[in-house]
Each structure stands twice: as C-alpha cells, then as structure tokens.
Structure 1
Amino acid sequence: MTADTLLIHGATVLSMDPQVGDLARGDVLVQGGRIAAVGPALDAPAGAEHIEATGMILIPGLIDSHTHMWQAPLKGLGAGLWGAADYSRHVFPLREKFSAEDMHDATFACGVEMLDRGITTVLDFCHNVMTPQHAEQALAAHRRTGQRILFAYGMLGAFKTLAAEHGWRLAQIRDLAGAMRGGDGLLRLGIALGSLEYAGLELVATEIALGRELGLVMSFHQNPPGQILELHQAGLLGGDLLPVHANVATDHELALLAQHGCGISFTVEGEFGGGRPMSIIGRAHRAGVTPSLGVDIPSRVALDLFAQMRLTFQVMRNEEATVERIAGRWPLARHPGTPHAQPRHMLAYTTVNAARALGLGDEIGRIAPGLRADLVLLRTGPYGMSLGDPAAHVALQSCAADVDTVLVDGRVRKRDGRLLDLDPAEAAAASRRVRERVLGPQQPGQGVARA
C-alpha cells in the first residue's frame, strides 16, 4: 500500500528518542517516507491515510544485526545440535549444495517471514557467496521483499579454495558498490569478513582495506579468544567493524571497542543454548560497547526478535544474580548499579543500538521527525497492556503474533495482521523448493542426523 501522507493516531508511542520520549497516547505523521511529526494530537493534511491505533503500542521497526538469511529453509534442521561441531557437520556444509536459484528462494522466504514478524531491517551476513551469481540472486530477492537490508557480502567461501577465490570476491564487492551507489536506500552493501581463524590476518586485512576505501560497514564472527586484540595490534580495529558473539572478549578488549565506538551483535539463543559464557552482554553494556541482537541461524532459532529480547533479559538477570550469590549477597537485594539490565534496554538493543551498529543510526531505530518511517504497531488485546513501563510489555509480554501493522520507509507492508503485498504461501513454496533441491524429498519431522 502506498500513501505519501499517513497519520497513525492514538497509539502508545515508544519513540526510543531522548528528545521525543514516550507518549501515552500520541500521533505520528508520515510524509514522503519520513516521520514528519510526533505529538499528542496532530492534524493531518486533507487526503491523508489514517491508521487508528488506539490500544496499540507503536515502536520503531525491529532491527536484526546478524542473521544468515540463506538458512531459513533449513528451519528445524539444527534443532538438536550440540555445540559447534554438530553445526559444522550437519548444517554449514549444506551451503555448498545451494545454487544461485536456492539463494534467491531462501532469501525471499526469510525476508517475508521477518517482515511478518515486525523485523524491518536485517544485516544479512551472507557467508554463502559460492559464485558471483549467488550474491546477485540474494540481492534480487532482497529487492523483491522490500525489506531494509545491509547485505554483508560473505568472504568465507569453500575452505580449500579460500585464498584462490579471494580476488573475484573483492572484485565483485567493488562492482556492486559502484552499481548500488545512489540506490533507493533500502538495500546497502557491507562486508562479512572472512573469519580470522580460517582466512588469516593477511586476507582479512585486505578485506578491511577495501571496505574502508568504499565506506562499507563490516562484520565478523569473533569466536576464538584474542581476535579483537589481534585486530587492534595490527591497526585494523575501527568503528566500522561489528564483531558478532565475542563471548570470550576480555575487559581490555571491550575497552578497545568502546574507544572506537563499536557495538557487538549478540545472538543470545544460539550462544546460551550452545553453552557459551554470557557475562559478556552485561560487561559490554557497562563498558559502553552497545549490544544489539540477532537471530543468527534460522536452521535452529526462530525468526523472532521478541523471543530474543525476552531470553536476553533473563540471561542478563541470571548472570547478575550469579555474581551476587557468589559474593555472598543472598537473598537478592537491590543496591546501586544492581540490577543493571532493564526490560527497556532490550528494546534499545533491537532498535537504537542495532541501527547504530549497521551505520544507520541517523536514519532509523527511533521515532523522531526527519527519520525514515520504519514502524511497527503491536496489539495489546484482548487482555490489555501490562502495568508499568510499556517497553517492558514489548520486551517481556509481546510476541510476533501481536504485530498488527508494519511500515518500511513509510510504506505500509502489513495491516490488520496481514501482509499486503507479499504472500506467506509464496514464501513457504520457496522454502519447499530449496529443501527438495538441497536435501531431496522430505518427510514431515525429518531432521538432522543424530551424531
């Protein structure tokens, strides 16, 4: 649905902007794809479209800062994984079976489901660029869905030919950067750096140099210890780098990230379920290294940032409680600075912080005049909003089924609980095609082989 001017009326507005604040009952005027005004009672020009939002909560569109969107058709395949070895054995190698056509279908299916669930923006960490056509078809799918995307072009190809294929990947990034310059703004290019443990510092340094030459945001998996320090010592650390996971980062490394204005993308469900240490989120937040959240692997984790907010809050509270218990401060009692994690922080992780991590902090992530109108309306009925901070209702009570209306760049993509210009049945069919081509004929309940 297209409308140059639109008024959202009567919502509880969680702007996530310190100047605008919250409105218990407010209006938002959208014009030309941007937020024109936010206030308690706005007048709309004649002919403006109206969306009645009384009893609903309006939030910035949710932003996922790290997901491998090509894995969406593999949903459930990783449900019973046990550690990184299982993932490396049963899921990750399947990327080499994906054709360029599979990349289009998989990316399209993922984007549709994410939009339906209120995720308006994603950093697509596409580490499945096995040929130039793989990247082209993934980009074509993104244009088809109309989701706001930072397409992080994956430098991690087949391990045996990683160095030999490095040249054409760098060349394609340069070509894409030229072709996408001055585009529609919904689709931007970034780089998913080759992991240091696989590519080595020399190749990664070349990738970073190209990214900085082209002004691209870069992201990288940070799993083994010491890699942030290694990048710093090589003179490569910078605010244009977004590490992912970083569960074993030291406080010194967090201080280095904070000095450069970096964030970290945490994929809490996969990390926590995989047994990784989780004190990192609270340590990063306190150090000024802004956390953001991602789904990571749709083969195992649902495309649902509400679930990630809820789990992240509980994980952080448990970590804080563990520190108190070990120190002998039990039963729990409040004292200055503890507890640190609050429900509103979770909404910030998936809006303001994530926008900043993607280099889009001046464009999205808040509801304020001048920003792009990426917005989500959440139903609170039939049982009504919970008491206290409405942000706590979003983080701890809301779910994907509550997403009533979704706008991307001022365009209404979902209304009254239904997608307007994308068909979930088409997305499901695209997933089935990928499964049949990659896995062969599937039976209901068929999943990952047991180790």
Structure 2
Amino acid sequence: MTTTPLPERFAHGRPILFRDATVLSMDPAIGVLDGGDVLVRGERIESVGRELPAPDDAEVIDCSGGILMPGMVDTHRHMWQTALRGFGADWTLSQYFVFYYLNWGKIFRPEDIHAGNLLSAIEAVDAGVTTTLDWSHGLWTPEHGDAAVEALRAVPGRFVLAYGNLLGAPWEWTNSPDFRAFVDRNFTSRDDMLGLQLAFDVTGDAAFPEKKAFEAAAELDLPVTTHAGVWGATGDSGIELMWEHGFMNPRVTYVHSCCLSEDSYQRIAASGGAASVATESEQSAGQGYPPSWRLRRHGIPVSLSMDTSVWWSADLFSAMRATLSADRSREHLEAQAANETVVHNRLRAEHVVEWATMGGARTLGLQDVIGSLTPGKKADVVLVKNDRSPVMFPILHPYGHVVFQAGRGDVHTVLVNGRVVKHEHQLLGIDLTAARAEVERTVEFTRAELGEDTWTECMRPEIPETELIPNPYTYSEYRGEGVAVRRERA
C-alpha cells in the first residue's frame, strides 16, 4: 500500500465539525475562542462559535488540547529545487547563483521539475501550508512549465505558479509564442486552486528591457513577483525604473526587500505593493538583514516565505519563529547602539501568525477566499494537536505557542478547500512512495551529470580565492555596480 486512502467517514462530503479547540480565527470580528467550534460544509466554513449544534451526518473531530487556525500561506518557494533538499546547506548566495544560474540550471529536465514540485507540494500540505506560491524560475522550456503544472495539480493543495526562466531574458520569453501557448493550454480558466503569476527580476539596466515583461503581465492580467533588495543582485535602481515607468502597483510582490533605501521603501508603500520575507534565507544566504523591522515602519504589508529547501526548512513554523527572533534582535541592536534598552516588543507573536495566514492571502489577492476562519470563506483549516508531545500543553498563549512551541510534527489535521488531506498526523490520498521514486531518479541523474568530484565540491564548497563575476543573470549584457557576485575559481 503506497497511498493511505481517505477514510469512509470523510469520503462522501459529510459536514465536518471541529469541536472544543483554541480557535485562532485571524478574523478581528471573531478573535480567539477558547473551547471554540468550526463547522465546515462542502468547500466552505459555515459557522464559527462555541457549542455549535452538530448536523446529524457530521463527522466530529475532537480538538481538545489543540489549536485550530487557518491554513498557512507561503508566498515564495522555489519548489522545483526540493528534489535536491539540503544540498546547498553550506552555500552562500553567490554559490547558489553559480550552481543554478551559471553552471547547472539547464541540466534539469521536465521530469526533474515535476519531481521537485511534487515533493514540495506534498510537504507543504503536510506542514499545514495549504497555499504555496511556486516561484518557478527553472522553466526554460514550456515543457518544463507543463511538468510544473502537472505536479501541482496532482496534490490536493492550493497553489500559484509564478512562471519564470532564470536562463532566459524575461522581455523575450514572456512575449514568445511558446509561452503564450503554455498559458492558453494550462490556464484557459482561472480558479483559486491554481493561479498564475509572472516571476522575473529587474537588474537595474537603465535601458529597462524588463519593460516588455511588465507590459506582458498587464496584457495577460497577471501579477508580478520579483526579487528586490537582494545584496549584489537587485537594488534601488530596479525600483526606480519600475516607479518611473509606472509598473509599481498593488499586484507586485517584492521578495526579500532587504537592501533598499528609504526612498525605495516609500515607493513600495505608496504603490500598495507587498513584501515576501524569507528570514531563514536572508539570515543565511546574505540578501541582507531580514527587513520586517523596516517594512513595519513604512506600513508595507508583509507575508512570509521559505525560499528553497535546497538550503533551509520548508515550513512556516520555522518562518514565523525566525522572523520574530530576527526582528526583535534588530530592535535590541539598534537600541543598544544608541545606549538605550528595549522595554516593549513592538512585533508580537500574533503579528507573525497573521503574516503567515492573512498576510499571505492578501499578498496573493486571496484575502476574500482564505486566510482566516471566517464563515463563507473556503475551508483551508489546520489543527495543531499532538497528544503524544509534552510540548503541546499547557496552551496559555496560543499565538506564542504556535510560533515558539509547536512545529510541523504537531500538525494533526489539514483541510484544503474542505477536503481532508491529513488526519491524525497521516497524509490521506497522497502517494508518497511514488514521489520518493521520482526524486530518487532526479538525484541519480543530477549526480551523474555533475560527476562525483563536482557533486562533492558543490555540496561541500571550500573557501577559495575569488574573482568578481559582474552579473548572475546570464541573459543580460548589463554589467552594473551592485549586481556582482563572487565565483570560485576552477
């Protein structure tokens, strides 16, 4: 048996009543309910309250000792790279650029994209991340894009494919007949289970060749997600060009947003854009100090993301914990540099839980669909409960418990769009054995393509002398200050 089938009691669309939970609704009108109930009927949340009457045919889930919350939303994850999970644990950002952008990005076949996306999608729903934006910049042919879509449709989660091509010029591929045919083939109709965005970066070239990519996004009515404020790659010049040409608007997401000037933050705020903060990535790879402390001061909406599990963890418990810790660390450092002491934490546990749920929903334009346990919204619901864990009691501060105490192993039940995809800590209707076999084939292929010496060198990089490579974006001739990376000599 490779797939755990859906239990009979969940198989016929019966109402589901979550009974006696600590409910983190993330809806200001409902708030936190101790001993609260949530009734799901079909795809939607029907009611939230206490001592709700159970319909005669309802399946009742005992939530005592648990926390019920909305499904979490990751707004930036390179899902295709999951097939090489942990391979780059000791990389710097420049080594990441060298591996994927300069040397090896083109070896990945459509089936490798499928394998990475499939595994990433499964682990997302397993960890209570019910919606994930796939920042899919390994799609250097439309066939790669088809494979990405096929994998996302195979897993009962909610996804947004942000189509990208790190090896091609965005002003070319966004307007190519092949890409337009891909859109027509896979997105003839739009729904909230699988959305589409464009994913590309702005290098800062004064000629602004990315203008044609933004025009393509407008023509196709697609949001744009872009890496901004990344040390050594994308900086203020890109923001200035977007602003001057009128392409900064509420449908643009700025990923990382670390190394930017006050003027750039003000432009993001004024245009209604949102930021996706990937704190584990920013702390480790070197995009810049995680910027939540600066984004808050400008009132820029924040969502959370995990970036890529070729390096880091892939759950939003880690993202919330890291973000809250990094923000508070910066507040202390700034205060101590001025010979002062922080006596009140501005960023609270509740805020980062909000960023992981409603913040992500707003960033993806799904705030009326998901992100809170509100009657009428789609039923993306996560029960955090683990009776075998000494960490799950007592629950005194539920937001703090989610952020600092709980983890992915405590995810008991997950609903996506009203469908039970995990229950009693076990995935349902998902063939993990088949996903494992796909990933093993990708690892075997990649290792053979690199060769054993290169495989080892890439996974365990030495600390060599370096030379400057002026631009990781190989499709662009632009060689400007602020887009340099360091590359190991052969």
Structure 1 length-normalised TM: 0.91
Q: For 1:183-332, list aligned pairs within 5 A.
A: 183=190, 185-193=192-200, 195-197=201-203, 202-222=208-228, 223=230, 224-226=234-236, 227-278=238-289, 280-329=291-340, 332=341
Matched residue type, 1:86 = Q
Q: Residues 250 and 202 (structure 1 numbering): CA distance in 2 closer, same or farther, change over 3 Å? A: closer
Q: Does structure 2 retain, via aligned residues, the 8 Å contact 1:177–1:214? A: no
Q: Does structure 2 retain, via aligned residues, the 8 Å contact 1:118–1:403? A: yes
- Asked whether 1:38 is paired with 2:45, we answer no
Comparing 200-209 with 261-270, greater Cα deviation is found at 200-209
Q: Does structure 1 retain, via aligned residues, the 8 Å contact 2:22–2:67? A: yes
Q: CA deviation at 1:204?
A: 2.1
Q: Residues 279 and 99 (structure 1 numbering): CA distance in 2 closer, same or farther, change over 3 Å? A: closer
Tell me the equivalent position of 1:408. Answer: 416
Q: Deviations over 1:324-365 (max 9, x none)?
A: 101111xx342xxx4211111111111111111111111111
Comparing 419-428 with 113-122, greater Cα deviation is found at 419-428
Q: CA deviation at 1:52?
A: 1.4
Of 180, 183, 187, which residue of structure 1 is paired with 2:187? 180
User: 3-state SS of the aligned residue for 1:242?
Assistant: strand
Q: Does structure 1 retain, via aligned residues, the 8 Å contact 2:21–2:66? A: yes
Q: CA deviation at 1:262?
A: 1.6
Aligned equivalents of 1:129, 1:103: Cα separation in 2: 8
Identical pairs, percent: 31
Q: Does structure 2 retain, via aligned residues, the 8 Å contact 1:72–1:110? A: yes
Aligned equivalents of 2:225, 2:22: Cα separation in 1: 34
- Asked whether 1:342 is paired with 2:348, we answer yes
Aligned equivalents of 1:425, 1:14: Cα separation in 2: 34
Q: CA deviation at 1:217?
A: 1.9
Matched residue type, 2:99 = H
Q: Deviations over 1:151-192 (max 9, x none)?
A: 001143346xx6664532x65246525752435531111111
Unpaired segments ≥5 residues, structure 1: none
Tell me the equivalent position of 1:365. Answer: 371
Aligned equivalents of 2:271, 2:171: Cα separation in 1: 29
Q: Residues 371 and 166 (structure 1 numbering): CA distance in 2 closer, same or farther, change over 3 Å? A: closer
Q: How many residues align?
A: 440
Matched residue type, 1:122 = T
Q: CA deviation at 1:201?
A: 6.0
Aligned equivalents of 1:415, 1:34: Cα separation in 2: 18
- Asked whether 1:52 is paired with 2:62, we answer yes
Q: CA deviation at 1:388?
A: 4.0
Tell me the equivalent position of 1:134. Answer: 144
Of 367, 388, 403, which residue of structure 2 is paired with 1:395? 403
Tell me the equivalent position of 2:472. Answer: none
Q: Does structure 2 retain, via aligned residues, the 8 Å contact 1:57–1:380? A: no
Q: Residues 181 and 15 (structure 1 numbering): CA distance in 2 closer, same or farther, change over 3 Å? A: farther
- Asked whether 1:15 is paired with 2:25, we answer yes
Q: Deviations over 1:113-141 (max 9, x none)?
A: 11111111111000011111100111011
Structure 2 length-normalised TM: 0.84
Q: CA deviation at 1:274?
A: 2.3
Tell me the equivalent position of 2:439. Answer: 431
User: 3-state SS of the aligned residue for 2:459?
Assistant: coil
Aligned equivalents of 1:104, 1:58: Cα separation in 2: 32
Tell me the equivalent position of 2:119. Answer: 109
Aligned equivalents of 2:42, 2:174: Cα separation in 1: 41
User: 3-state SS of the aligned residue for 1:145?
Assistant: coil
Q: Residues 290 and 42 (structure 1 numbering): CA distance in 2 closer, same or farther, change over 3 Å? A: same
Comparing 295-304 with 269-278, greater Cα deviation is found at 269-278
Q: CA deviation at 1:44?
A: 2.8
Q: CA deviation at 1:424?
A: 2.7
Matched residue type, 1:187 = L
User: 3-state SS of the aligned residue for 2:145?
Assistant: helix
Of 376, 380, 392, which residue of structure 1 is paired with 2:382? 376
Q: CA deviation at 1:279?
A: 5.8
Q: Residues 277 and 138 (structure 1 numbering): CA distance in 2 closer, same or farther, change over 3 Å? A: closer
Aligned equivalents of 1:198, 1:132: Cα separation in 2: 27
